[in-house]
Structure 1
Amino acid sequence: MKIALDAMGGDFAPKEIVLGAIQASREFGAEVILVGIEAEIQAILDQQQAAGLKLEIYPATEVIAMDEHPANAVKRKKDSSLVVANRLVKEGKADAVISMGNTGAAMAASLFTLGRLSTIKRPAIASLMPTKKGISIILDAGANADCEPENLLEFAYMGSAYAEHILGKSNPQIGLLSIGEEETKGNKLTVEAHQLLKNSRLNFVGNIEGRDVHRGACDVIVCDGFVGNVVLKLSEGLASSLMSWVKEAINDNAFSMLGGLLIKKPLKKILTPMDPAEYGGMPLLGLNGISMIGHGSSKAKAVKNAIKAATKAVEQDIIGAIRQAITNS
């Protein structure tokens, strides 16, 4: 199994991207194709004494910047590291693609190159959310700002397959994110989507509210991409602020620093699941190929974990699972 990694995508590329690949190869034997400017990638590999690891370089002469228009950049830069990495999956030379670069461009490159599954109208970004009961998944997390009720039903089936096969959830519970628990609450989209979900073969538990997301009210949280992205960014921002506030309070004086030492282990246990780097990347579900999208600010740890997540998606045949879930619907 080989993972095509866009080595030039991200705020800290190529160094942190290559370092993440090195860690993945050393820790769990990942085979990674580093796609990008060969001389820059090779220099990092040499510096890190990575000879003998299951890493190879596939040259690409162009780079899509973080601020470029996604669709235009993908169409114009055919030899960019992002487009070439997706092409390797399309041609069967790699089993999955990962990029920490321009999110819009990553979505466009995967959609244009890999295509949609024939049974899916709208691919969706799925993001893992830490909860009191473990890990839940929310989708769509930003691919589709405007949706139809049928799209949310598709998201639910894809999320259910991912939760079952990747997260190990048996008969995953599906919740529809709305402004009230009653099925008549919400806008036109959520009210109509509720009825579709209610009459589906899914384990639908009804509407959930924003306060229920991190309580673990369900395994799969379904919403449109606009709402999902707001929830995701709000959660990440709150987690980051919380960690900052805690550190400031602990470092306030000698007594608080002493107290900080006493709670160091339980505090780490609480804060670790809130770190996006623990999950690495977000899968773009509904494509005819496995594509993972990471944060532009990702460093080596996040890249390593994205490779781990992509590897598991390949091993568990998540594409086949989604195809089967939709077919059986």
Structure 2
Amino acid sequence: MATDGDPSAPTPITASPGDGPALTVAAVARRLGVAPATLRTWDRRYGLGPSEHSAGSHRRYTGDDVARLLVMRGLTLDGVAPSEAARVARETDLHAEEGDPTPRPRLASVPGTGVDERSRATPTLVIDAALRGDEGACRRLLAAPEKDYERWWANLVEPVRAGLAARTVLARPGEDADALVVDSVLAGLRARTAPLAHAHVAGRQVVLLLAAPGEPRPLVLHVLAAALASHGADARIVAGPVEQHRVMEIAAMTRPAAVVMVSELGAPDLAVIAALADAQPELPQFVVLADDDAARALPLGRSVHRARTFAGVLAEVTAVCS
């Protein structure tokens, strides 16, 4: 079971299509987080009603019925018109792969929504997949793009993680929806950038990316590295302890074209930036800080720059490497 700060938020569907007992309108309404009247409207207007009859002619929702309603609810939450969402839900292939509980549209596209076989993922669908522990669905929905990593990060990955962070979940041992999302994102980035890593590019320049000392590496650091790799840079993330002497040694050995630090802290340790600026005054450094107070401690100069956005730092570093 999962709840969040919004009492009207839907509970994720955990049953696979076709599985489980037939459910009443009230039971399905509770599971989807919608009013029973909404389900009756979807039945009357769009034909998304219960398909099983029990004794006394009472109609019940099957697993397939609920799966289609999950598609309907997910698309409407993401801004798709109800009539269009219902069309996609009715034509969704519920059994595209054996053992695959994730409903997927058969159609090539949903007009006016940008939803197609390559971009059908929405935050709602990913959150549902993560909460039910469906690793295969998470990896498919979070497959890294060929380009436009900024849009992928801002419109899909960030909202998914924010949505999961807002939920209180009763998880079993080994279950962690956010960890599943992070693993899926990293797997997608590896798959997308592996061919680039082995391609021989004459004069390819190294770009070092690191978190602030003592700070966990933000996931966006990997996304930024993948975006830089797609622009021809040999982007490398400094893993392990970010200690000043180690960073200085790495910079001396690799002679990077640029260094990027990303911090999500209010008061990050910026001493390594100052030390690098002293040791290699011509080395361009870009520090991504969301907090204005932290930025006041940044040793700005000819080679040290503050970046505020993903797009901004990507453009700056790409220009340096070109």
Higher relative contact order (CA 8 A, sep 6+): 1
TM range (shorter): under 0.3
Question: What's the TM-score once normalised by structure 1's chain length?
Answer: 0.27
Question: What's the TM-score once normalised by structure 2's chain length?
Answer: 0.28
Question: Larger Rg: 1 or 2?
Answer: 2
